[in-house]
Every structure is written in structure tokens, then in C-alpha cells.
Amino acid sequence: MVLFLAGFLALLVGVTLGLLGGGGSILTLPLLVYLVGMEEKQGIASSLFVVAVTSMVALLSHAKAGRVHWRTGILFGLVGMAGAFSAGRIAAWIPGSYLLVGFGIVALSSALAMMRGRKETAPRDGPIPLAQSASLGLLVGGISGLVGAGGGFLIVHALTILGGLAMADAIGTSLLVIALQAMAGFAGHATHVRFDWTVLGVVTGAAVVGSLLGSQLGRRLSALTLRRSFAWLILAMAIFILARETPDEILRMPALRAGGALALVFVIGIAIRNIRIGRALPKKENGTNSALRASENSASERGPRETDEMKIKTFYDPKTYTFTYVVYDENTKDAVVIDPVLDFDPLTFRTSLDSVDDVSNFIESERLKLHYVLETHAHADHLTGAQALKKRFGAKVAIGSNITEVQKTFKEIFDLGDDFATDGSQFDRLLDDGEVFEAGSLRIRVIFTPGHTPACASYHIGDAVFTGDALFVEDQGTGRTDFPKGSADALYVSIHEKLYELPDETRVFAGHDYQPGGREVRWETTIGESKARNVHLPAGLSKEEFVERRTRRDKELAAPRLLYPSLQVNIAAGRLPGGDRGPRFMKIPLNAGNPTDSAGFPQE
């Protein structure tokens, strides 16, 4: 029974290592000593073995995602191994109870570090200072090897400060360092400790399974909430260990009692401050310039969601009134881009990468890993910058599977020839209605919202939905439906029976804003606001009334000025016409829908 319970609790060890990049040994040692009943030094040595194996397993997924800096990790780890092995040998001459007191102090410090959370630091200019790196590596390795804990959180901090790594990369790289240090510490202890390999095998196996679960939890749960929950658990455990293991002669010292009381007040103060900060996070201001408006929205400021670290960066192209969104997880750095713009001048017929560069610079400055470029539909008002982002970052281009209908329609209009495929193969991935897929830690649900075009799709991520040209902010209304195979009936169903079924607090990010009345640019509203005040489709409007109003409105609209250049490029996933080299040419149909003879007279 004890062994079964130990195996179950060992799952938590793997979860913390896989999810947080630290904390595993802090749970392992008390499990082995107080539950399994191991002697103190045997428990310390065994915990190092468990953490070494679990870290190596957790490392695999981070390495696959490109979040491990091998040179930095090996350099730091080798120095730490020397400290860990030496400390493991020294532990033979230190009483076990004193080692557990040291462990309790490390656990208390780690709990406070977890409560405080991790903050991104600016990248360091120049190479890593070898002297500082070696000194800190020896210190961290020594602590870990001596008491069996304390490596993970210090290592992540060191890698961000000294190595200039982004937080996601620091967590991944720390697992490599932890594995090296823990194995070296285990080797040091193995010179004077015997092991129960049956217990060690069960606990290690369960912890490995937990590390795999940890990577899945990172995609489905709030890492912030999990980190704080573990912090409280570790805090309680540290206090228990210190109270139990500190020798009586030390506890009777007045100075120590006074210091302990002050430390307890400090810990309580940190905990209260952490709770208050969690309940009242500050809002960020939007940045603006004359050519491009950008804002950053933190999901941690706005109620329930998939992950507290999800953020949204908004870019606005005033020439085409188009919004581009970068959606990313601040913790893992996983990201997607929605509806990027390739600049195009219809007078000179030249393209430029200015808008793509703005998005790229942000991705690089935040060290994001771009998984997908998501198109809400084949746009008729701007050329997509999807291929430029794919080329720069290796991202996949995805769109709703109904793009094939649009391709078939415009293949005929543009007379594109037999070599133009209409099976959507120009895109890297075709998405189905209701499909849920993952971009690293981001979970994305596809909602088909046809009407503007038959291929329109909205993307539901966390507490936000990106609606393209289906639903705009409330005073802008809805997208037009007069394009080939567009349908006001279908748009009504898409909005009224799909989007309006989402929770009222769901944030809506629109594809365009034409600034009616010359007001400031707006890109965000909510489902609740749309249902109450959308000028084209409030929740109480019937389908018949909407179709009549939308059809009447569409007859008053002029064709988009970039209609034909845009569609010709966008149905090909953003690839410009022509081969890899040489001049490129577009086909612009004359008098589309009203054919003429060669002199310009209407054909009978």
C-alpha cells in the first residue's frame, strides 16, 4: 500500500519538472523519507536518481520544440556536476538530520520563488561570463548534490540572467543541467549509500509518467495556478521538515527563535502580497505610431481562459484597414499569427515587406516559436504575408478546408489553367469545422463561419475568438456577402447560431475596422456587446430582416480596390504568380461578369 501511494505521489514530481522546470526533488525527498521510510542519506541519494531520470525524459519534448540551448546547458551542467559530485562525497560526514534541515531551508526558498513567479529579463549582450557561470554552477551543483534539492529554480534564474535566454528556453535548458547535476550528485552519494532498487524503480517510473502528463497539463491548465498551488504545498512541507528535524539544542537558542519568528512574518507577508497581486493585475497601455497601431492584451487580466500566459499583439494596416494578430503563450513562447499582410501598391504594382517586418520583429524580440499562420479566409482586400512568415520562421500555413470552393470559382475567373490545383494543396494544412488542434501550448478550435465567403473560419483560442470578416465591432456590423458564393443566409447562421452561442464574456477580435465617423481604430469587442448592440445583427433580429438589410447594404458597396490582385495570390496561400525567378505577372480580368469584344462592346 505504501509503495502504491509513493508511486501515485511520484506523479507530482514529474509534473512539476515537466511543467515548471524545477521543484521535482523538493517533492521526492520527503516522499522517500517520510512515506517510504528511507534513511536520510539514502533518501537524498535516491531522490537525485529519480530527478535525473525524470529530467532527461522531460527534456525530450523541450528539445523537440527547439527550446534547449545545448552548448550553454552542457557548459553550465559540467561545472555543476563537479560541485554535485563533491558535495555528494562530503555528505558522508554530515549528520542526516542536518542535511534535512538544509533541505528544508532550500525548500522554503524555492516556495517563495515559485510564489513570486518568473519574469522575463532582457537578453545579455556578449558572451556568458565564464567566472560567474562557473561559480554559480559550482554553488547550485553543490547545494543540489548535498541536500538533494534546490537546483531547478536557481538554474532557470541563472540561465535568464547570465545566459540571456528567454524563459521558455531557460526552462528547457535547465532540464539538461538538472539531469547532469543530479546524476553526478547521485554518483557521489553512491560511494557510501545502498539503494532499494524496487522502490526506486516504482517511484522513478511513476515520476517519468508524471513528466509526460506535465507537458500535457501545460497545454490545458494555467501554469500560473499550478505553480502557486505547488508553492503552497512546498511551503507547508518545508515548515514541517524544519520543525521536525531541527535539533532541540538549536531550537532553544533565543536568537534563533527571534529569527524564526521574523522569517515566519516575512513568509506570511510574501504570501499575502502574492494573493493580492493575483487578484489585481495592472493593465498595460497600448503602443501606437502613425503607420501601425499595436496593442498587447494579457489574458491574465480578463477572467477565465485556457492559460494565464496567453497574450495577443495587434497590428493595424491603415491602407487596407486590416488587423493582424500574434497570439502567444508568454511562458512557453508558442505562437500563431492570424491574417498577416503583404504590402502592395496598385499604382506601381510593387510589393513590400514592411508589415511583415513589423510582425517578424515582434516575434524575434519576444523569441517566439511560430507554429502556424492562420488565414480566416481568402481575403479580397489585401495580399497575405503568409509565405514570407513561413519562409522566415518555418511556420505552417493553414486555412479552412472550404478554400477548395473558392479556388474552383476563381480558377475559372482568372483562367489559371490546368496546372493550378483546386484541392487546397497550396496550403500546409486544411482545417475542418469543429476541429481542435494545438500550436505548442495553444489549443485552437476551428469554427466555420461562411457567408462573407464559403471558406471563412473563425479561431477560438482561450477566451478570445478571431472572426475575420464575419463579425466586426458593434458599430461596424458584419462582413459583406456579395462575393461569389457569398450568402447572407449563411452569415446569419454563422453569427447567430455559432458565434453568439459562445459565452458573453468571450472577446471578439475583428479582421477589419473602417473607422465609421472617423473614430479611433477599434479591433476588440465581446460576444455580449455584439449581441446587444451590433448594428447589423443584434441577437433579437430575425434571419429575414438581416438578409434584407445585408443585401440592401451590399448593393451600395464598391468592389475592393485590391480584389483581383489579392484573390489571385491568396487562393495560392500567398504565393506570388510565376516561378522562383524572373518576372511575375498577374491576370486582371476585364469587365468580369459583363464580357465584351476586343473593341470593348458588350457581347450579345
Segment 237-257, tens digit of pLDDT: 677 777 776 766 555 566 555
Of the pLDDT bands very low, low, confident and very high (cuts 50, 70, 90), residue 18 is low
563/134 Cα distance (integer angstroms):
61
Amino acid at 39: E
Amino acid at 347: L
**What does the pLDDT average to over 302-312?**
56
Question: What would the pLDDT profile of 21-60 be if each residue is shown by its tens digit?
Answer: 454 556 676 777 777 778 877 877 787 888 788 778 777 8
Q: Is the pLDDT of residue 259 over 60?
A: no
Contact 489, 471 (CB under 8 A): no
Q: How much is the pLDDT for 426? A: 93
> Rg of the chain's alpha carbons, rounded to an integer?
29
**What does the pLDDT average to over 333-358?**
92
Q: How much is the pLDDT for 376? A: 96
- Residue-averaged pLDDT of the chain: 77
Q: How much is the pLDDT for 278? A: 41
Sign of CA dihedral 127, 130, 134, 136: negative
Q: Is the pLDDT of residue 360 over 80?
A: yes
**What is the H or E stretch that residue 343 is in?**
strand 341-345
* Burial readout 494-532 (b: 16 or more C-beta within 10 A, e: otherwise): bbbebbbebeeebbbbbbbbeeeeeeebbbbbbbbebbe
Of the pLDDT bands very low, low, confident and very high (cuts 50, 70, 90), residue 444 is very high
Amino acid at 463: D
Of the pLDDT bands very low, low, confident and very high (cuts 50, 70, 90), residue 510 is very high
More confident residue, 561 or 361: 361
Q: How much is the pLDDT for 588? A: 80
Q: Which of 344, 424, 412 is nearest to 384 (CA)?
A: 344
Q: How much is the pLDDT for 137? A: 67
% of the chain residues with pLDDT over 90: 34
* Burial readout 162-187 (b: 16 or more C-beta within 10 A, e: otherwise): bbbbbbbbbbbbbbbbbbbbbbbbbb
Q: How much is the pLDDT for 75? A: 78
Cell of 483: 462575393
More confident residue, 242 or 114: 242
342/381 Cα distance (integer angstroms):
11
312/128 Cα distance (integer angstroms):
32
Question: What would the pLDDT profile of 124-134 be if each residue is shown by its tens digit?
Answer: 444 455 566 66
Instruction: For residue 410, give the 3-state DSSP assignment.
Output: helix
Q: How much is the pLDDT for 285? A: 36
Contact 458, 465 (CB under 8 A): yes
Of the pLDDT bands very low, low, confident and very high (cuts 50, 70, 90), residue 16 is low
CA dist list (Å): 410 to 81, 204, 346: 63, 59, 20
Q: How much is the pLDDT for 557? A: 85
Amino acid at 454: P
319/317 Cα distance (integer angstroms):
6
Highest averaged pLDDT of the listed ranges 77-91, 211-225, 490-504: 490-504
Q: Is the pLDDT of residue 159 over 90?
A: no
205/215 Cα distance (integer angstroms):
16
Q: How much is the pLDDT for 597? A: 79
Model-wide pTM > 0.85: no
Contact 510, 516 (CB under 8 A): no
Q: How much is the pLDDT for 306? A: 41
Q: From start to end of 376-514, where are the E strands?
A: 383-384, 396-400, 429-431, 436-439, 442-448, 457-461, 464-468, 507-510
Q: How much is the pLDDT for 65? A: 63
Q: How much is the pLDDT for 292? A: 41
Q: Which of 337, 375, 377, 379 is nearest to 358 (CA)?
A: 337
Cell of 262: 521574523
Helix crossing, 151-161 with 96-116: angle to 10°? 50
More confident residue, 519 or 279: 519
CA dist list (Å): 481 to 378, 488, 494, 495, 558: 14, 6, 12, 13, 13
Q: How much is the pLDDT for 228? A: 61
Q: Is the pLDDT of residue 275 over 50?
A: no
Q: How much is the pLDDT for 150? A: 47
- 213: alpha, beta or left? (left if phi > 0; alpha if psi -120 to 50): alpha
C-alpha dihedral, 302 to 297 to 390 to 216, nearest 10°: -30
% of the chain residues with pLDDT over 70: 68
Q: Is the pLDDT of residue 335 over 70?
A: yes
DSSP state of 580: S
More confident residue, 454 or 50: 454
Q: Is the pLDDT of residue 390 over 60?
A: yes
CB atoms within 10 A of CB 306: 21
Instruction: For 193-248, give the DSSP string.
Output: ----HHHHHHHHHHHHHHHHHHHHHHHHS-HHHHHHHHHHHHHHHHHHHHHHHS-H
Q: Is the pLDDT of residue 291 over 50?
A: no
Question: What would the pLDDT profile of 214-237 be if each residue is shown by its tens digit?
Answer: 655 554 444 455 556 666 766 776
- 284: alpha, beta or left? (left if phi > 0; alpha if psi -120 to 50): beta
Of the pLDDT bands very low, low, confident and very high (cuts 50, 70, 90), residue 110 is low
Residue 604: CB partners within 8 Å, gap ≥ 6? none
End-to-end CA distance of the chain: 90
Contact 438, 334 (CB under 8 A): no
